[in-house]
Amino acid sequence: MYINRFLLLIVGVVLIFFPAIESWMTSSEIAWYRPYQLWLLIVAAAYWNQRKRYPDDL
């Protein structure tokens, strides 16, 4: 199976820095819906990404 290095990097970064990201998100006086804004950004990125053909598509 072809392992996409970029994806591995992203997963690694997410797993390693997840607590740090969470701390940053919740560290100061912020609007309670800030995590949702970040989440929406992820959705937009996923939408943009799926418009391209996946290199590993079926």
Partner 1 sequence: MIFSLTQILLVIIAYLTGLFAVAHLADRGIIPKRITHHPAVYVLSLGVFAGAMASNGVIAMAHQFGYNFLLYYLGVVLMFVLPLILLMPLLRLCRVYQLASLADVLTFRFRSPWVGSAVTVAMCITLLPLLALQIQAVAESIHILAGDNAAESFGGNRNNLLAFLFCVIITVFSILFGTRHVSSQHRNTGLVTAIAFESLVKLSAMLVLFLAAVYAVFGGIGGLEQWLLENPQTSNQLTQPIQGDDARALLLIFFAGAVCMPHIFHMAFAENNDSRGLRIATWGLPLYLLMLSLPILPVTWAGVKLGHELPMDYTGLAIGMALQSGAISTAAFVAGLSASSATIIITTLALSNMCLNHLVLPLSPLQIDKGQDIYVQLKWLRRVLITILILAGYIFFTTLNGRQSLSQLALVAFIGTLQFLPGIIATPYWPRANRTGLLVGLSGGLGIWFFSMLLPLFGEQSPELLTSIYTLLLGHSNNLSTATALVSLGVNTALFIAISLVTRRSSDEEKVASEICSMDDLARPIRRILSVYSPAEFSQRLALSLGENTAKSEVEKALSELQFSSSENRPYALRRLRARLEANLSGLLGPAVAHRIIEGRIPLLPSAHTDAEDIHLIERTLDQSQTHFTGLAADLDNLRRHHRETLDKLPIGACSISADGELLMWNQSMQRITGIEPTEVLGSLLGDISHPWGAILEGFLRGDTETVIKKEVAMDHSPSRWVDLHKTLIKEHDHRNTVIMVEDITDIELLEEELLQNERLASIGRLAAGVAHEIGNPVTGIACLAQNLEYESDPKEIRFMAQDILKQTSRVTRIVESLMNFSHTGPYLEKTKLAPANLADCVDEAIHLLALDREAKPVRFDNQCNRELLAMADSQRLLQVFINLLDNARDACDSNGQVHIRASNVGDQVQIEVEDNGSGIPQTLHSQVFEPFFTTKDPGVGTGLGLALVFSIIDDMNGKVHLTSPSSPDVKTGTRVTLYLASACYGPDFEM
Q: Got the DSSP string for 7-26?
A: HHHHHHHHHHHHHHHHHHHT
Q: For residue 39, state whether it binds partner 1 (rule: CB under 8 A).
A: yes
Angle at 52 (CA atoms; ends 39, 22), nearest 5 degrees? 20
Nearest distance in Å: CB 37, partner 1: 10
Contacts of 35 (CB under 8 A, 6+ apart): 25, 26
Q: For residue 41, state whether it binds partner 1 (rule: CB under 8 A).
A: no
Euclidean distance between CA atoms 29 and 39, whole angstroms? 19
Nearest distance in Å: CB 42, partner 1: 6
Q: For residue 13, state whether it binds partner 1 (rule: CB under 8 A).
A: no
Binding residues for partner 1, rule: CB under 8 A, are 1-4, 7, 10-11, 14-15, 18-19, 22-23, 25-27, 30, 32-33, 35-36, 39-40, 42-47, 49-50, 53-58
